[in-house]
Amino acid sequence: SAVISQKPSRDICQRGTSLTIQCQVDSQVTMMFWYRQQPGQSLTLIATANQGSEATYESGFVIDKFPISRPNLTFSTLTVSNMSPEDSSIYLCSVRGGGLASYNEQFFGPGTRLTVL
Amino acid sequence: LAKTTQPISMDSYEGQEVNITCSHNNIATNDYITWYQQFPSQGPRFIIQGYKTKVTNEVASLFIPADRKSSTLSLPRVSLSDTAVYYCLVGDIGTGGFKTIFGAGTRLFVKA
């Protein structure tokens, strides 16, 4: 299995500011993903973080709003830019493949709870 | 990706067997069926995965009929700690760019 840590675990931010969320994995992984989950709702995939190249974004999400970095096989960041209250959500990092025992299983971090005032 | 349909919520009592059925009428030949469990304030956790017939592990069983248009997650003798949201996902895991897309899930409430 994979141990995934996210920083910060939670934050309260003012509208118009930006927050960068870090995701660290204890093993090298092939694929890293970022999801958003609003209270009481299911998870929505934001983007796939590609090592050494631009992230691949899902419909409704753009790089200017959610810039993503992935400098190596164990680390990624997601920035929520120019925040508004609608960005209040839990943001989760997820990984699959690489050094993990099963390529078919996807592992999730504990999430970052963001509140925008 | 094949669309999945699950009951929104289910109630059960401790010690009972719980069966959650997922419909995926448009499942493709190469698609696998995967179930995840999510507790409050945690990320989802992989439970079980299968292609056809029956799969069993230490947590659950997964029953898949021959036409594969549905699947049933079976949780034996549930306890209060099994209260969670259960997600059914369908996709071609053999594809390098396979993305795990979540549906609405089923909220299971286990009562004492």
pLDDT in tens, A45-86: 999 998 888 899 999 999 999 999 999 999 999 999 999 999
- Single-letter residue type at B57: N
Closest chain A residue to B32, measured at CA: A104
Quick one: tokens of B17?
Answer: 């067997």
Quick one: tokens of B15?
Answer: 């010690």
> pLDDT confidence of B97, banded at 50, 70, 90?
low
B24 pLDDT more than 80? yes
B32 close contact with A: CB closer than 8 A: yes
Residue B92's φ and ψ, nearest 5 degrees, are -85, 95
What is the C-alpha end-to-end distance of chain A, expressed in Å?
A: 36
Give mean pLDDT, residues A7-27: 97
> pLDDT confidence of B103, banded at 50, 70, 90?
confident
Residue B17's φ and ψ, nearest 5 degrees, are -90, 135
Q: What is the per-residue pLDDT for A103?
A: 60
**Backbone region of residue A16 per phi and psi (left: phi > 0; alpha: psi in -120 to 50; beta: other values):** left
Q: How many CB pairs under 8 A join A and B?
A: 45
* Cα Rg, chain A, nearest whole Å: 13
Closest chain B residue to A105, measured at CA: B46
Strands A43-49 and A56-57: antiparallel
Question: Which residues from chain B sit within 8 angstroms of residue A33, using beta carbons?
Answer: 99-100
B110 pLDDT more than 90? yes
- 3-class secondary structure, A85: helix
- Reference B68, options B35, B110, B23; nearest CA is B23
**How far off is chain B from A66, nearest CA to CA, in Å?**
18
Question: Which residues from chain A sit within 8 angstroms of residue B104, using beta carbons?
Answer: 42
Question: Which residues from chain A sit within 8 angstroms of residue B43, using beta carbons?
Answer: 4, 92, 94, 107-111
**What would the pLDDT profile of B68-83 be if each residue is shown by its tens digit?**
999 999 999 999 999 9
Suggest the residue from B31, B33, B36, B46 to mutate for an interface test with chain A (most A CBs closer than 10 A). Answer: B46
Alpha-carbon distance of A13 to A80, in angstroms, equals 11
Q: What is the per-residue pLDDT for B9?
A: 96
B107 pLDDT more than 90? yes
Instruction: Tell me how many degrees the CA angle B108-B106-B77 measures, rounded to the nearest 5.
Output: 35
Q: What is the per-residue pLDDT for A102?
A: 58
Place of tokens 């999730």: A108
Question: Which residues from chain A sit within 8 angstroms of residue B105, using beta carbons?
Answer: 42
Question: Which residues from chain A sit within 8 angstroms of residue B45, using beta carbons?
Answer: 108
B7 pLDDT more than 80? yes
Task: Compute how many other C-beta atoms are within 10 angstroms of the C-beta atom of residue A107.
Answer: 21
Quick one: tokens of B94?
Answer: 């053999």
Alpha-carbon distance of B24 to B9, in angstroms, equals 18
Please provide the average confidence, as pLDDT, over all residues in chain A.
92
Exposed/middle/buried for residue A98 (C-beta within 10 Å: 0-12, 13-18, 19+) = middle
Closest chain B residue to A106, measured at CA: B46
Those of residues 9-28 in B touching chain A at CB distance below 8 A are none
Are the Cβ atoms of A45 and B44 closer than 8 angstroms?
A: no
Alpha-carbon distance of A87 to A68, in angstroms, equals 16
Quick one: tokens of A14?
Answer: 């003012």
Q: What is the per-residue pLDDT for A7?
A: 97
Alpha-carbon distance of A80 to A72, in angstroms, equals 21
